[in-house]
Amino acid sequence: MTLEPLDLLHQGCERVIGVYLLETDDGPALFDCGPASCREVLLRRLEERGLALTDLGHLLLSHIHLDHAGATGVLVREHPGLQVHVSEVGAPHLVDPSRLERSARRLYGERFDSLWGELAPVPEGNIRLAGPSVLGLDCFPAPGHASHHVVYLHGDSTAYCGDAAGVRIQPSAYVIPPTPPPDIDVEGWQRTLDELDRRGAARLALTHFGTVEDPEPHLRELRERLRAWSAEVEADVSESEFVARREEELRRLVGDNASPYEQAIPFGQSYAGLKRWCDKRRDVA
């Protein structure tokens, strides 16, 4: 399988959401699937690779956020043989996505349907809990962006990272941490980055967007930026100031390629997630 992501053209924009085909011990699988609003593009991308949805036996999910896993129920409905691998914590929200949908509708309002499409339940019989080994791939917990996040490490030394290794819209070198609510854990994320370093993957497959061939400096920059952003919010920088700083930095370092970053993770959401994390730490203290 090629490491080039399948670009789902979310909201008609290139290089925002990419999912991956990979070879497993039980044939071809898909890593992440994007939202149901991108279903037709996903099926077209599979066809371009000579595949139909029914040629895939497995869907490996990094986590259950809608940009990564929103189409899962719709795909299983169309292909009842599809086996869905997900963390034990995330699994119940696929079986009954009502709480997830209520939360997302509060956040996105009337934009929910156009952004994400239908959120359909997944039958329990299609769920496989992701343990240390999944179809011949190593799998390990990767909290930080989400408490239920996992990373899959292929035998070809590719780490399928979802959001655990940040957002970097190829070919840009600019790396940012996606930190939306509700369960950002900055300290846990640093431990996840330690584990990614320890595993020594040769490349990182990012959902947002593309395959990173220089993991060491990439992870170092992500680690430093996560520290810097969280320190700003801990110092009570306002949301407007935080967003203004991020927008200035993005345009200075990325220029005309800023739009996919802003669509992949709006800076206001990044602030909200870090603020929630800081407030929880203060409550405990």
Q: pLDDT confidence of 72, banded at 50, 70, 90?
A: very high
Asked whether residue 142 carries a pLDDT value surpassing 90, the answer given is: yes
pTM: 0.95
What is the distance between the alpha carbons of residues 175 and 139, in angstroms, rounded to a whole number?
Answer: 23
Helix or strand or coil: residue 120?
coil
Residues 44, 49, 51, 56, CA torsion sign: negative
The predicted model gives 94-108 an average pLDDT of 93
69 close to 33: Cβ distance less than 8 angstroms? yes
- 135 CB-near residues (< 8 Å, 6+ apart): 24, 25, 26, 29, 58, 60, 85
Give me the count of residues in the chain.
Answer: 285
Burial of residue 126, with CB atoms counted within 10 A of its CB: 0-12 exposed, 13-18 middle, 19 or more buried: buried
Q: For the chain, which domains are there?
A: 1-130 (3.60.15.10), 136-285 (3.60.15.10)
Backbone angles phi, psi at 30, to 5 degrees: -115, 135
259 close to 172: Cβ distance less than 8 angstroms? no
pLDDT for 3 equals 83
What is the distance between the alpha carbons of residues 241 and 74, in angstroms, rounded to a whole number?
Answer: 40
pLDDT in tens, 28-53: 999 999 999 999 999 999 999 999 99
Q: pLDDT confidence of 256, banded at 50, 70, 90?
A: confident
pLDDT in tens, 175-219: 999 999 999 999 999 999 999 999 999 999 999 999 999 999 999
pLDDT in tens, 231-245: 999 999 999 999 999
pLDDT for 156 equals 93
State what percent of residues in the chain have pLDDT above 90. Answer: 94
Q: How far is CA 207 from CA 25, 48, 158, 170, in A?
A: 23, 19, 13, 11
The predicted model gives 83-109 an average pLDDT of 95
